[in-house]
Chains A and B, each alone.
Chain A
Amino acid sequence: MADIVWVTCPKCEGQFYCKPGDFEDSHYPLLCPYCSKEFLFKESPRIQR
């Protein structure tokens, strides 16, 4: 599979995926596509590789 990781929004629990190299160990926030909450990769309650 392509290099993606599923993450979960800590606010609405919506799940989406990202390119891990861009967000893991980085200060760039993820943006929840469902509720627009910004959060860091490490704040995702679930990470599925």
Chain B
Amino acid sequence: MAKNLGVFLEQLRSTETIVEVEQEVNPADFEVTAILRKLEERALFPAVIYNHCRNIKGEASALRVISNVFGTRERCAVALDLPADETGFPLSSRYAERTKHLIEPTVVVKQQAPVKEVIKKGANLDLSDYPLVRHHEMDPAPYIDMVICLKGRNQNFYNTSFQRNMYKGPRKLGLFMAARHNWEICRTYEEHGEAAPVIIILGHHPAFYLGALNIQPYGVDDYKVIGGIMNEPLNVVESETWGKNFMVPAEAEIIIEGEVLPGVKETEAPFGEWPGYYGPQRLSHVIDVKAITYRKNALWQDVFVSHRENWILGGIPKEGEIYEAIRAYVPTVKSVHFPFSGNCRLICYVSLDKQEDGDARQAALIALAICDFIKYVVVVDGDVDPFNEGEVLWAVSTRCQPQEDTDIIKCVKSSPLDPSIPGQSEGSKMIIDATVPKRKAFAQRTKVPQQVLDRIRLEHYIDEDIILSLPKYTDSLRSC
């Protein structure tokens, strides 16, 4: 059976609890995100299905809402066919391996496409019939925050990315895009005075969404990359609006088809974004919605933007792809990690077994070159685990002299959502080389002799009940 959200949830049910909320909730009145926030306050991040939702009109919705699917790296590991405990770099590495194998999509007929079970267009289409989610206090309206897809103008490649879409009317959405690939596609249509066909994909196998976040160069067909990440061809079917000229994922829960209108901008946002701040109100593109198709009993998927699942989702693809890019030039790179402290975007930790002093800065520059989200790159030696932030900061504290080992690069393209940037999309970057210098003698890290550690069994010296009764302090755990 082809991979889809339902298949994944069935698989997940055998290993963990998917929370099902039976009480009615009003997603447009913050109730979906309030429940997720309450769970978050207790350090709980389950996938949650809301079985009884109101739509924007306040009526009972025929569709259910699912959120927090990406709330743990464990679930992402399962999505990429790994054991749930492979949450560290093996997960990122699996992602990177799969980006190397592009898989052509498979075309299916409409009768074989579950996403065509219900089709609404024209006067039958009203987005206020659906359970769109309003996430944070300053958001002016409910939003759709899943993956959009555009196709290169007169070119045969599809480009996917997560973008926010503000509800503006029964058949109108406000679309914000940073100046990256989808923005560029829109620009080429706009240059010719043409509307750009766009689809929004709500609900699919999580490997689909991880694949959609690849950072491959402009022009690479994301449907093929997604196939690689899913490890099977992406089933696609003709769209309702453009037929064979725009194929859509057949196994999705819901597809919204529309056109980005050329030369039209309207008021959009503020919107609570991944940095943990609201992006400002601005003028954004407008989508004229043409059709919505979905499975019977479809799940309306949403991401709890500005929170953990939003961060994890952004981090894993970047870790894998940046690792591969660095490895092409610095083959002794060991691992790459985007920690929660940088919302899995702004801070990048790289570990490597340095052969020459220049390796650290070369690795950092490669990371910065291929991912404009990154603001700080910290390079550490191979004995430091980038997934252990305490260790990384210990290396920064003890192996780095700011005057010699940091560099600031000014006026570089940056995320417009970073509230600290001075303009709209230009900021500065910092490289911190926290590796031991090769060019001079340096102190050695402390360690208790390994042969003694191998010999000593703690239980022989301290009663196991006492060991278990002792309070644990993990705040200074390092691998020394």
Nearest A residue to B424 via CB reads A3
Q: Is the CB of B423 within 8 A of A19?
A: no
Q: Is the CB of B138 within 8 A of A16?
A: yes
Is B216 interfacial (CB 8 A cutoff)? Answer: no
Q: Is the CB of B423 within 8 A of A3?
A: yes
Within B282-307, the residues touching A (CB, 8 Å) are: 282-283
Instruction: Select the stretch in B73-81, B181-189, B253-261, B414-422 that faces chain A.
Output: B414-422
Nearest B residue to A31 via CB reads B267
> A17 CA to B277 CA in the complex, in Å?
11
Is B6 interfacial (CB 8 A cutoff)? Answer: no
> A16 CA to B278 CA in the complex, in Å?
9
Q: Is the CB of A22 within 8 A of B282?
A: yes
Q: Is the CB of B419 within 8 A of A19?
A: no
Q: Which residues of B contact A28 (CB under 8 A)?
A: 265-267, 283
Is B88 interfacial (CB 8 A cutoff)? Answer: no
User: CB < 8 Å: which of A2, A29, A30, A33 contacts B421?
Assistant: A2
> Which of A19, A33, A38: most chain B Cβ within 10 A?
A33
Q: With contacts A31-B267, A33-B139, A33-B140 known, is A22 near B283, CB below 8 A?
A: yes
Is A47 interfacial (CB 8 A cutoff)? Answer: no
Q: Is the CB of B281 within 8 A of A17?
A: yes
Q: With contacts A1-B419, A31-B267 known, is A18 near B280, CB below 8 A?
A: yes
Min CB–CB distance A25 → chain B (angstroms): 13
Q: Is the CB of A36 within 8 A of B280?
A: no
Is A12 interfacial (CB 8 A cutoff)? Answer: no
> A3 CA to B418 CA in the complex, in Å?
11
> A31 CA to B169 CA in the complex, in Å?
14
Q: Is the CB of A2 within 8 A of B419?
A: yes
* 1/0 contact string of B267-280 vs chain A (CB within 8 Å): 10010000000101
Nearest B residue to A33 via CB reads B140
* 1/0 contact string of A10-32 vs chain B (CB within 8 Å): 00000011110011000011111
User: CB < 8 Å: which of B265, B266, B282 contacts A18?
Assistant: B282
> A40 CA to B396 CA in the complex, in Å?
49
> A32 CA to B137 CA in the complex, in Å?
12
Nearest A residue to B283 via CB reads A22
Q: Which residues of B contact A2 (CB under 8 A)?
A: 280, 416, 418-424
Within B404-439, the residues touching A (CB, 8 Å) are: 416, 418-424
Q: Which residues of A contact B283 (CB under 8 A)?
A: 19, 22-23, 28
Please tell me the size bucket of the interface on B: 20 to 34
B-side interface mostly: loop
Nearest A residue to B417 via CB reads A2
Q: Which residues of A contact B282 (CB under 8 A)?
A: 18-19, 22
Q: Which residues of A contact B278 (CB under 8 A)?
A: 16-17
User: CB < 8 Å: which of A1, A16, A19 contacts B422?
Assistant: A1
> A16 CA to B280 CA in the complex, in Å?
8
Q: With contacts A1-B419, A2-B419 known, is A33 near B267, CB below 8 A?
A: no
> A1 CA to B423 CA in the complex, in Å?
8
Q: Is the CB of A33 within 8 A of B280?
A: no
User: CB < 8 Å: which of B266, B281, B423 contacts A16?
Assistant: B281
Nearest B residue to A7 via CB reads B281
Min CB–CB distance A33 → chain B (angstroms): 4
> A30 CA to B280 CA in the complex, in Å?
11
Q: Which residues of B contact A36 (CB under 8 A)?
A: 140
Min CB–CB distance B305 → chain A (angstroms): 15
User: CB < 8 Å: which of A1, A3, A33, A38 contacts B270?
Assistant: A33
Within B422-471, the residues touching A (CB, 8 Å) are: 422-424
Q: Is the CB of A17 within 8 A of B267?
A: no
> A3 CA to B422 CA in the complex, in Å?
7
Min CB–CB distance A38 → chain B (angstroms): 8
Q: Which residues of B contact A18 (CB under 8 A)?
A: 270, 280-282
Q: Is the CB of A32 within 8 A of B423?
A: no
Nearest B residue to A22 via CB reads B283
> A29 CA to B141 CA in the complex, in Å?
16
Q: Is the CB of B419 within 8 A of A32?
A: no
> A10 CA to B380 CA in the complex, in Å?
53
Min CB–CB distance B226 → chain A (angstroms): 32
Q: Which residues of B contact A16 (CB under 8 A)?
A: 138, 270, 278, 281
List, sorted by A's number, 5 A–B pairs whose CB atoms are closer than 8 Å: A2-B422, A22-B281, A22-B282, A28-B283, A33-B139
Binding site for A on B (CB under 8 A): 138-141, 265-267, 270, 278, 280-283, 416, 418-424
Closest 8 CB pairs of A and B: A33-B140, A18-B281, A19-B282, A22-B283, A4-B280, A19-B280, A31-B267, A17-B280
